[in-house]
Structure 1
C-alpha cells in the first residue's frame, strides 16, 4: 500500500507541492488503483495469447512506388522566398 509519505516524496521528486490533506486523498486514490490491479492479477490468463494490437494487423503500409517528382520550377513557383533553386527559410540559431 502507498503511504502519504510516499505520495509527498513523489510530489517532491516531481516538484509538485502537495500538502498533508492532499497527500491523504492521493494515497487513498492510488491504493484504490492498486486494488484494481490486484483484481486483474487474479484473472486466469494462462490460455490467453498476448495481444500486441486489438486487431490482427500485420502490415498496414503501402508498397513504395518510385514516381517522377514535380519539376523544381513548378514547386518553387508557389513561394516568393527562394534562393539558388531552394526554398529560403529563416535562420535558426
Structure 2
C-alpha cells in the first residue's frame, strides 16, 4: 500500500512482479486554491467593469482590451468548474 512518494519505487517493483497495486487517487485540491480562483475571477470582472465604465480605456487601438478580461473570466469559470468537478472524479474516468 503506497502512502507517499517514498514508496514509489516499491510500487513499480510490485507491479513488475504482478502484485496488486492500489489504483491512483486524484490529488486533493486545497480549498485555498479554489478560493484563489474565485478571487481571480472577481479581479477580472472588476477590470471588465472598469473598462466598460471608462470609454477612453477602450477607444482607438485599445478596442481589443475588453476581450482580455472577458477571456480571463471565462477561463477562470472553466478552471473553477474543473477544480470543483474534478474532486474525487478519477474513479469514474
TM-score (norm 1): 0.29
Between structure 1 and structure 2, the one with the greater Rg is: 1
Instruction: Point out the structure with the larger helix share.
Output: 2
